[in-house]
Structure 1
Amino acid sequence: MGWREKQKSASSGSDSRVLKVFLLFLAFVEAATAAASYHEVSLTQPRHKNAYASMMYMGTPRDYEFYVATRVMIRSLARLNVDADLVVIASLDVPLRWVRALEEEDGARVVRVENLNNPYKNQQNFNKRFKLTLNKLYAWNLVDYDRVVMLDSDNLFLQKTDELFQCGQFCAVFINPCIFHTGLFVLQPSKAVFNDMLHELEVGRENSDGADQGFLVSYYPDLLDQPMFHPPPNGTKLDGSYRLPLGYQMDASYYYLKLRWSVPCGPNSIITFPGAPWMKPWYWWSWPVLPLGFSWHENRRQTLGYAAEMPMVLIQTVFYLGIIAVTRLARPNIPKLCYRRGEKSVSLIQTGLKLIAIWSILAAYIVPFFLVPRTLHTVLGWSLYLLGSFALSSIAVNSFLLPMLPVVAPWLLILGTLLVMACPWYSNGVVRALSVFGYAFCSAPILWISFARIVSSLQVSIEREAFFPRLGESPSPPGFNKLY
């Protein structure tokens, strides 16, 4: 091999090594970029000295609902132009697409954490839905901030509350006369306090409910004896622990008593919904059962919107309208059996047909309730439910040749109940409750009469020999009735 050939060979070998190194470098950069993209939510630097924080974890049947509620709360805080970061403490099993939506669409800083082990999960009064609520203790680990306002997702902000950042090391509201509520509290982050809390979990500090509420009440047992928080006019931060005025965490139950807010102590700033899990404000059935549910949905409509639920709404609407059209046009004469008086088997068949008809009517009012997307706007939700129950009721009406009015009587009464609940002129919640009770009392006879009419019509339809041949007999040939 000549000198030039050797030089070319060495040059090509060197080029190939350079190319390999370059490709390895590109692969490393790509992997690092992907890792950064995955973990960027945890590495985002704080932009403010203080933060509003909430938490998100998985493992309950209502994970998606709380995800939606968290996004609505974050966007409502952003609309108020709060001077603070919006932080979500998310467990590692929260879907990455949810994390990215919180970060990229809602402007939140997401901090990924491992779920804290709950040492109280085997105690007698423990509720499984509180298993991971101790993740709330991670708020003390947000040491990038001077103060943090820790929030549950069911808070509804009426106005800006940045003055809370002037409170001390721990501040909370006493909704219960003796026990403060952990749906909102102010804290000063501290590694020392966080580590001490973890130690208290390990040694088994007393916890009345096995959740964050019981643990924090045990950890701060003397908060009831602390002074009331009043924000200093010069904007300085206080030291120590304080009780927050009730206006910073107004229980929705207070509203339902007088159908207006009448909390004299502190600003009427934040509403919380600490009641039964199935009556949270984001469920479509919450209004008009709970009037404040409409306020929450209006807040969502102005912030997050309902694009996620609309495809299912359109599909169900088309499906229900198709059922109404098909059943009305077809109106089939289903072959039902007329019986001879002594045939017990035919009697059982007739009884079975009656039960099928009655159960189909009941299903028409029950099934649509579970098909409506649970976080849909309350007006759309009730409209879709009423459309679905009417469509499924039409199946029973046209299949069993029943009169329309008795079958749709419950539908009309449900609509009337909604109107009675939604009437705006009640002086207080007691009058509203009595009005609903009076309406239900007057509706009971109508339901009974409708049921009796349905049973009677079913009996007539089953025994109508002009439509249905006798058991074991062939139908008359065409034109037979005309000739004879």
Structure 2
Amino acid sequence: MNGAVPNPEGMSPSAPAAAAHAFVTLVTNADYALGARALLRSIRLTRTPADIVVLHTGGTDAAALEPLTEFDCRLIETQHLPLSDAFNARHQRRNVHEQAPFTKGRKPDFHSPLDNFCKLTLWQLVEYERCVFIDADAVVLRNIDRLFRYPEFSAAPNVYESLADFHRLNSGVFVAEPSLATFDRMLAALDAPDAFWPRTDQTFLQSFFPDWHGLPVTMNMLQYVWFNLPELWDWRSIGILHYQYEKPWEKDHPRAEALRPLIDLWHAYLTGENIPDVATLANPAPAGERS
């Protein structure tokens, strides 16, 4: 650890840091608090010595957060970034979804683009040498502590439809080195005059770190690979499964039948019951062999 560090303004941790590294997620409402329960259980099952940090905003009440305490995590209350009124107006849900609509999948009703920028408060966690951020709509399938050896800024490509997407990163998993100086530079770049980030934090991070380092796609396996690029899917090598677009806890899930094995796996991690040996699960049939 970096030793005793004063808490950055606007952040309130539930406990001091106990390790040099941390897995970090973000909870902005009750839906993502539910997702975080499955994620935190999956991380704990890997027997990592790293801390687990849950950044949470005022959109999550205490009742939704309480179940997370079972997993010995640090709950750190944070606030929305101090951004200009003009920036906030440009990045309201309606404006983002109208100017840069999601055409490949459906974002749930609880998706709020402005919430996504709260990920950047990770750089304020200067009590840690390195952090691995994981979205709350993901689960960890095996020990991934080796990610702490990757440099800042590392992320996996945004591959879920074709290999042409290898040039774009996905910000659902990334490796970062907390620094208040970096955080200040981020705020200045983020809220530049007329700046618009169509995929919010994802577009911004790729701009801020243009020479980003690539993580293996298996360290952020996006669920649509299951039916779009089944040849890339191998349960034995997947470290993190990320449920992008539709969420496995949604009742009106339009892709539920196509993704049933993945949804069932998520529910096993949520409840802690009948979690399978992932290496024994059947991979999807190659596209050419489907009926």
Q: Which bracket does the TM-score occupy, shorter chain normalised?
A: 0.7 to 0.9
User: What residue in structure 2 maps to residue 132 of structure 1?
Assistant: 115
User: What residue in structure 2 maps to residue 157 of structure 1?
Assistant: 140
Is it true that 1:108 corresponds to 2:73 in the alignment? yes
In the alignment, is the contact (CA less than 8 A) between 2:22 and 2:130 conserved in 1?
A: yes
User: What residue in structure 1 maps to residue 32 of structure 2?
Assistant: 66
The residue type paired with residue 289 of structure 1 is A
Q: Which has the higher contact order (CA 8 A, sep 6+)?
A: 2
Is it true that 1:187 corresponds to 2:176 in the alignment? yes
Distance between the aligned counterparts of 1:189 and 1:426, measured in 2? 38
Please state whether the residue corresponding to 1:217 is helix, strand or coil: helix
**Aligned with 1:302 (options 272, 277, 285):** 272
The residue type paired with residue 250 of structure 2 is Y
Please state whether the residue corresponding to 2:210 is helix, strand or coil: coil
Please state whether the residue corresponding to 1:181 is helix, strand or coil: strand
User: What residue in structure 1 maps to residue 202 of structure 2?
Assistant: 213
User: What residue in structure 2 maps to residue 197 of structure 1?
Assistant: 186
The alpha-carbon distance between structure 1 residues 254 and 194, as it changes in their structure 2 partners (threshold 3 A), is same
Give the deviation of 1:117 after TM superposition: 4.6
Distance between the aligned counterparts of 1:425 and 1:191, measured in 2? 43
The alpha-carbon distance between structure 1 residues 304 and 134, as it changes in their structure 2 partners (threshold 3 A), is farther
The residue type paired with residue 215 of structure 1 is F
Distance between the aligned counterparts of 1:260 and 1:290, measured in 2? 16
Distance between the aligned counterparts of 1:66 and 1:166, measured in 2? 28
The alpha-carbon distance between structure 1 residues 154 and 99, as it changes in their structure 2 partners (threshold 3 A), is closer
Give the deviation of 1:146 after TM superposition: 0.8
The residue type paired with residue 248 of structure 1 is M
| More displaced stretch, 198-207 vs 179-188 | 198-207
Distance between the aligned counterparts of 1:220 and 1:133, measured in 2? 17
Structure 2 segments unaligned to the other structure (5+ residues): 1-10, 98-110, 159-164, 276-281
The residue type paired with residue 288 of structure 1 is E
The alpha-carbon distance between structure 1 residues 300 and 260, as it changes in their structure 2 partners (threshold 3 A), is farther
The alpha-carbon distance between structure 1 residues 249 and 64, as it changes in their structure 2 partners (threshold 3 A), is same
Please state whether the residue corresponding to 1:131 is helix, strand or coil: helix
The residue type paired with residue 223 of structure 2 is A
Please state whether the residue corresponding to 1:182 is helix, strand or coil: strand
Is it true that 1:282 corresponds to 2:252 in the alignment? no
Structure 1 segments unaligned to the other structure (5+ residues): 1-39, 58-62, 224-241, 306-423, 435-484
| More displaced stretch, 158-167 vs 174-183 | 174-183
Distance between the aligned counterparts of 1:152 and 1:426, measured in 2? 24
**Aligned with 1:46 (options 10, 14, 17):** 17
Q: Could you say what the CA RMSD is over the residues aligned between the two structures, in angstroms? A: 3.1
Please state whether the residue corresponding to 2:26 is helix, strand or coil: strand
Work out the percentage of aligned pairs sharing the same amino acid: 23
Distance between the aligned counterparts of 1:50 and 1:136, measured in 2? 17
Is it true that 1:89 corresponds to 2:59 in the alignment? no
Please state whether the residue corresponding to 2:112 is helix, strand or coil: helix
Q: Counting strand residues as a fraction of each chain, which structure ranks higher?
A: 2
**Per-residue CA shift, 1:331-372, capped at 9, x if unaligned?**
xxxxxxxxxxxxxxxxxxxxxxxxxxxxxxxxxxxxxxxxxx
TM-score by length of 1: 0.46
Distance between the aligned counterparts of 1:144 and 1:304, measured in 2? 36
**Per-residue CA shift, 1:58-82, capped at 9, x if unaligned?**
xxxxx32221101110111111111
In the alignment, is the contact (CA less than 8 A) between 1:75 and 1:303 conserved in 2?
A: no
| Structure (1 or 2) with the larger CA radius of gyration | 1
The alpha-carbon distance between structure 1 residues 210 and 254, as it changes in their structure 2 partners (threshold 3 A), is closer
Give the deviation of 1:287 after TM superposition: 4.1
Give the deviation of 1:428 after TM superposition: 3.6
Please state whether the residue corresponding to 2:151 is helix, strand or coil: coil
Give the deviation of 1:303 after TM superposition: 6.2
Give the deviation of 1:283 after TM superposition: 2.8
Distance between the aligned counterparts of 1:139 and 1:205, measured in 2? 25
The residue type paired with residue 139 of structure 2 is L
